[in-house]
Chain A
Amino acid sequence: MPTVSRRLLNSLKGEGADFFVTVPCKLSADLVYLITQDKEIIHVAPTREEEGVGICAGAYLSGKMPVMVIQNSGIGNSVNALAALTRLYRLPLLLLCTHRGSPGEAIGAQVPMGMAVKGVLDAVDIPHFSFNHPSAVGEVGRLVAYTKVAQRPVAALLGFDFWRKGDQA
């Protein structure tokens, strides 16, 4: 059985995602590696998530379907661009966030933003959905269609068990 990262990437591509912006996380390391090796998609690694939001906005304007693979902390780094660019111009963008600071976290410093991220997304009217089991890869992929029909950014928060069990599933 392919890993959760392989199945997730296949699911996203199957739904039309063809432009990936990544900022690393230990949890998504395998997914990010697969993205960098995939010749069918465009990949950009920005220095900071806010920059990635700008790049994804441009990619959508050019006809691409963008996905950002980031840590949830990156939502905090991107709030103004998400509100005053992606939301303002009604641009689709799937924010695929590893949910650091959620149960399973080993680093205490991750917890404050892990707890805050849903409130931050609510504050700028970005719908968010939490997934904590690798069997959800199809549902996560279908958020690509949802962000397009909603014409606004949509966030998936992928908890520790989404990734951990995936390697055994």
Chain B
Amino acid sequence: MTMTRRFELLKKLVPLLQDELVISNIGFPSQELYRLGDRKEYFYMLGSMGMASSIGLGVSLGTHRRVLVIDGDGSVLMNLGTLATIANFGPENYTLLIVDNGAYGSTGDQPTHTSGKTDLAAMARGAGVSSVMEVGVADMADALARARQNPGPHIIVIRVAPGSPSLKPIPLSPVHIRDRFMGELKGDRERTICA
């Protein structure tokens, strides 16, 4: 049996999204998400590898809306301190989904340490995150539902196979991505004030 790759996982994830704000990791993950249907709730990270989990943390502290970060093993390994900061400062509306394919996918699938001895779920627990869910692709919907129903911060780790389809870079400018995402949040604040 061939293991699911990230692209197939994202295909299953997109229909499960509700009104979450989504921060998507640099490189192929963002390109794949864009290919599956662009949405104004998406913030595509174009540079600064490792920062997705931190950007999402900042967003989640400034809004009551649920925030989902789609991150990778290589990026989390590049910013490991984020696990401790999430544990100590992460709010209830924050969920970090680590799609762990054991490889630096965007640079040619060189192995990361999670394909060796390193266990990111155990590291997240060690960092003090109390809600860490290590699930298979088949249980992703359940894990996301639990994250919605219970106060976070949550970290979900799903192992997949390496490999990515060949896609083009996202044809959106950074400022366009910024303005659209901020507009979505601003609309949200105005709706709250009117309510």
Q: Which residues of B contact A88 (CB under 8 A)?
A: 46-48, 174
Q: How far is the CB of A68 from chain B (nearest CB, A)?
A: 11
Interface flag for A136 (CB, 8 Å)? no
Q: Which residues of B contact A150 (CB under 8 A)?
A: none
Number of B interface residues in the complex (CB < 8 A):
37
Across the interface, do A19 and B55 meet the contact criterion of CB distance under 8 Å? no
Q: Which residues of A contact B89 (CB under 8 A)?
A: 44-45
Q: Which residues of A contact B174 (CB under 8 A)?
A: 88-90
Interface flag for A84 (CB, 8 Å)? yes
Across the interface, do A89 and B54 meet the contact criterion of CB distance under 8 Å? no
Interface flag for A51 (CB, 8 Å)? yes
1/0 per residue, CB under 8 A from A, across B169-195: the answer is 000001101100110011001000000
A-B contact pairs, 28 of them (CB 8 A): A19-B58, A19-B62, A42-B61, A44-B61, A44-B85, A44-B89, A45-B88, A47-B82, A51-B79, A53-B54, A54-B53, A55-B58, A56-B58, A57-B51, A57-B54, A58-B55, A58-B57, A58-B62, A59-B58, A59-B61, A61-B55, A61-B58, A61-B182, A62-B58, A80-B47, A84-B47, A88-B47, A89-B178
Q: B-side interface residues toward A, CB under 8 Å? A: 23, 43, 45-63, 79, 81-82, 84-85, 88-89, 174-175, 177-178, 181-182, 185-186, 189
Q: A-side interface residues toward B, CB under 8 Å? A: 19, 42, 44-48, 50-64, 66, 80-81, 83-85, 88-91
